[in-house]
Structures are given as C-alpha cells and as structure tokens.
Amino acid sequence: MSATAVCPECEFAFDAGDLEPGETLACLECGLTLQVLGRGDNGVELRMIEADLPDWGQ
C-alpha cells in the first residue's frame, strides 16, 4: 500500500511506497535521515534521526 510522506525539515512530499514503522530513509530533497514512525489516514509519519555515518577522513 502506497502512502505520502512529508519531510519534517524541508516539507518535501514524496511517495513512501511500502515503508514500514522502524525503517529509515533519506529525504530526496534535503538528504536528512528519517525514520518511519507509523502509517495512518494522513500518510506516513516521519521523524528526524541522527545518522551514524562512517568518517571518511575528509
């Protein structure tokens, strides 16, 4: 089941596809790491999370 999600930072709306609660993704517009909290009648609820990315020494 497809649903709409909106980035809480830049407000970019996109199709969240079949994402399930607990999954993470990057906003297609601003690159922020987001976690799916749940799905409801109003679409997919997201929250910002801290991404633990590798340090490439740059």
Query: Is residue 58 scored above 70 in pLDDT?
Result: no
pTM recorded for the entire structure: 0.77
CA distance 44 to 2: 9
Strand ordering across the sheet containing 24-26: 13-15, 4-6, 43-48, 33-40, 24-26
CA distance 23 to 26: 11
Q: Which domains does the chain have, with CATH numbers?
A: 4-48 (2.20.28)
* Chain segment 9-41, per-residue pLDDT in tens: 999 999 988 889 999 999 999 999 999 999 888
The pLDDT value recorded for residue 1 is 57
